[in-house]
Amino acid sequence: MHRGQTLPIRRLGGGWGRTVIVSSRIDSRLIHGQVIEAWLPHLRVRRVVVADERTAGDAMAKAAMGLAVPESVELLYRSPTELQVESLSTDSVPTLLLFRDVEGAVAARRHGLPNGRLVLGNVHAGPGRTQLSRSVFLTDPERQQLLDLAASGMEVVVQAIPSDVATGFPRAA
């Protein structure tokens, strides 16, 4: 493999190609060490899209996240309902989509996010949340939303870091 050459990677929605949304991830922390040091190199992405309503409108949060991401990786901020999934999945830039919460992933799905892998990475603990894994805590409505996403064709898995074994969500639930 020569520098700059793109590996064929499975596209979201099926098929093989050189242009893709490589993965989607739900992570309450969005941009942090696990994403920067483990997921970006593992997935070999050149673009990260933070799909989060709150962050899309917060200049300070965007500035802080921008400091953490290597300059070689394009960083975009969008509302989950304004992702422009079609252009993201057909241009030449391997992309990771990051959602803060299940609600964001569900909204993106309603607005065109195609079938593919949705990784539950870190969903914080809190009142009314039940532990699913060491880093994922869900409410009953979130569990149902994820089961619905899985039933609609998305591959929902629990995986904190790339070296963890991905566990299929219905089995983990």
pTM of the model: 0.85
In the prediction, which pLDDT does 151 show? 94
For residue 102, give the nearest of 168, 28, 155 by alpha carbon: 28
Assigned domain for 54 exists: yes
Assigned domain for 109 exists: yes
DSSP codes, 1-49: --TTPPPPEEPTTS-EESS-EEEEEEETT-SSHIIIIIIHHHHT-SEEE
Assigned domain for 3 exists: no
In the prediction, which pLDDT does 173 show? 53
Q: How far apart are CA 134 and CA 153, in angstroms?
A: 26
Position of tokens 């970006």?
A: 40
Give the type of residue at 81: T
Q: How far apart are CA 52 and CA 170, in angstroms?
A: 25
pLDDT tens sequence across 103-115: 999 999 999 888 8
Assigned domain for 1 exists: no
Spatial contact of 72 and 46, defined as CB atoms under 8 Å apart: yes
CATH number at residue 126: 3.40.35.10
Mean pLDDT by 10 residues, the chain (173 residues): 33 45 93 94 94 94 94 94 79 90 96 91 95 95 96 95 91 57
Spatial contact of 13 and 36, defined as CB atoms under 8 Å apart: no
In the prediction, which pLDDT does 69 show? 95
Give the type of residue at 120: L
Assigned domain for 37 exists: yes
Number of structural domains in the chain: 1
Q: Give me the domain span that covers residue 144.
A: 9-172
Assigned domain for 111 exists: yes
* HSE toward the beta carbon, residue 157, CA cutoff 13 A: 14
Assigned domain for 44 exists: yes
